[in-house]
A and B are shown apart, each in its own frame.
Chain A
Amino acid sequence: MKRVYSSIIIAGILICIAGALLLFVPGPERPVVTFVYIGEKGDFGYLDSAYLGLIRARDDIDFISREILWDGSFKQDPVIGEGGKRADLVLILGDLMSGYAESVAEKYPETPIVVIDAGSVRGDTIRSVSFSMYGASYLAGVLAANQTKSNKIGVIAAKDAPVISSFTDGFMDGVYSMNPDAEVSIIYLADDDSGFTMPDEAGDLARSMYSEGTDLIFTVAGGSGPGAITAAKDLPGLFIIGVDSDQSELAPRTVIASVVKRVDRVVYLEIDAAFSGRLGRSADVIGLSDGGSALIINPRYQDLSNLIEDRYSEAAEREAEYLLGKEDV
């Protein structure tokens, strides 16, 4: 009888221990992606697009996302999170953080890093993806040449720099492919990055161009662009092609189309590639044919879509040639 008692008690103790162990055995760990960026979400453009890519990927691929708003320091560790949990991928957004990406790679050589919207970055574990805007801008040029009545087309650009030239080169080539007689004038707002934040000056410039007969303006000037759009709303017959995000929301009757970087798509694809073991270790340039850039037509002007679709392949081919030419240089 004693043995029976003892057996029951020992079995009970074992069951309790097993139960307790089961309670505290952790479930499968989810991978972690750290997303580092500069600026604030809510720009209805670049950063919001990146965030959209992140949440779409998170819905489809089960991972934990950490966000770090970079302030130029290492105060928040991009790899080691709360409780010592390590990131499985670090996504860094923007060319300005290339140096930061190199530092992270040096400190954590095991962690894959992807820098989006940046040229080649040094480091064996760093992949960079940059956007070619030539193809989408080429289509914008085709559209501009089709829409102008005065044959006078303007470009308001932030500054004369490589980051701008793939827009302006593509745009001009697109215009001339459609209308060799059109007159395109490019005006740079500044010699430095301040050209991205001069909306008042962009507005003045739009008014000045309009007074000289320009009836379509392509804005390649970041935060300055909305200044030109606001001015154009009061200038009958002047149309705008915007940039970065679908800016037709800002002025539905004025902005006929926008040239955009598909940051959302790139963020999604890079995360997907990382977790399916397809992440490359090189610099990549993506453009119109890869879905990295696009020309978005204002729904009010949907009838122009056919024109763009007809010229899509041509724009993609011209972009490939353009990029090849750049490599040769």
Chain B
Amino acid sequence: MPGSRHSRFASAHDVELCGFAATGERRAFGELVRRHGSAVRGVLRRMGAQTAEADDVAQDAFLTAFERIAEFRGEGTFAAWVKKIAARIYLRRLQRDRRLTLMTAEAIEDEADPPRGDADANIDLEEALKALGEAERLCVSMCFGAGLSHTEAAEALNLPLGTVKSHVKRGLEKLRTRLAPEDGVVLEGRRGNG
């Protein structure tokens, strides 16, 4: 009875759903897509993908995840795993269309001071990300949104590790000036996850 199966899946934990999906149960995987689709599409949009492209890539990422569901060991969350897959697929698209080369080249030349934000203004993340160069936005989103380490991001982008770190550092500096501080904390520093 399809209705009861759907309700059973709706109350199941992600790990259980992955187990069902591993046996070929597509409705269980559909429940996972229902739960985490928005998050995956959101990360892709924040990486700079247009709405339609983000949806295409997210669909491909979920299909890939279904094919490779047996590889998911439950070490992290399912959403984090699919986000990484989606980020890599998006990067491959950029490389295939030669958009990535242009993007990183432009970013290296772009050394202008970031526009200063009003610290009291509560600017959301989407708006703040618009202040970043494309490569900075990509690197920051990959590391903080898709959960890739600097090394993984460098490998995926086919860029030297130092270049990725520079993009992330500059991106964080710009974001810090755009995002209103929480509880009046003065924010400085950088990420160093290798």
A in complex with B: no
The residues of A with any CB-CB pair to B shorter than 8 Å are: none
